[in-house]
Amino acid sequence: MISKDLFAKEPLEVFRGTIKPEWIDFNGHMNVGYYVVAFDLGSMAFLNAVGMGLNYPEQRNGSTFALEMHVTYDREIHQDEPFVIHTRVLDCDQKRVHMYHEMRHGTEGWLASTNEIITMHINMTERRSAPFPDDIMATLNKIREAHADLPIPSGVGRKIGIRRK
């Protein structure tokens, strides 16, 4: 559902949705696990746009697996509120994509959460890493190049820990 040019020099709007009732926890806001679900919907929409959609495993015997991800929870979002996921490619090589997603309120625009993720391209027969097909790699490189001059978000590459003075 990418609504703008795939090679735009700005983060791509990849997914729009609404916070579902089953995503709400006992605190009355979106449960931490469902942020990952929402970001996965964004990742899947992005991968679909670059040619690795739901039929990719059967058509081309490939897929992607997550290697690592970091999620921040910046502001509560509640049931029935709209949200939008924006994605940018921070880096890629012949087997991996390093993406950064932001979840924003769908009408007010404030930041609810961020997700930094690295995925690996997989040969589904061997269930091992494998290079992206040339056409997919070319598309990923064009997006990476389009995003290269954007400022690196402050949360990228964070480590978790208690800050002490």
| Residue 36: φ, ψ to 5° | -65, -40
Number of domains in the chain: 1
Judged against a pLDDT cut of 70, whether residue 1 lies above it is answered with no
Q: What is the mean pLDDT of residues 106-130?
A: 97
Q: Is residue 153 part of a domain?
A: no
Q: Is residue 159 part of a domain?
A: no
Task: Quote the mean pLDDT of the chain.
Answer: 95
Judged against a pLDDT cut of 80, whether residue 151 lies above it is answered with yes
Q: What is the pLDDT of residue 50?
A: 96
Q: What is the pLDDT of residue 126?
A: 97
Residues 124-134 have pLDDT tens digits of 999 999 999 99
Give the H or E element holding residue 154. none
Pair of tokens at residue 153: 């978000």
Percent of the chain surpassing pLDDT 90: 90
Q: Is residue 140 part of a domain?
A: yes
| Residue 8: φ, ψ to 5° | -65, 150
Q: What is the pLDDT of residue 4?
A: 67
Distance separating alpha carbons of residues 72 and 55, to the nearest angstrom: 31
pLDDT-based confidence at residue 161 (cuts at 50, 70, 90): confident
User: What is the DSSP-derived secondary structure letter of residue 20?
Assistant: -
Q: Is residue 46 part of a domain?
A: yes
Judged against a pLDDT cut of 90, whether residue 60 lies above it is answered with yes
Residue 106 is part of a domain; what is its CATH number? 3.10.129.10
Q: What is the pLDDT of residue 162?
A: 87
Q: Is residue 34 part of a domain?
A: yes
Q: What is the mean pLDDT of residues 117-121?
A: 97
Q: Is residue 6 part of a domain?
A: no
Q: What is the pLDDT of residue 141?
A: 97
Q: Is residue 1 part of a domain?
A: no
Q: Is residue 4 part of a domain?
A: no
32 exposed, middle or buried (CB, 10 Å; 0-12, 13-18, 19+)? exposed
Question: What domain range is 119 assigned to?
Answer: 12-147
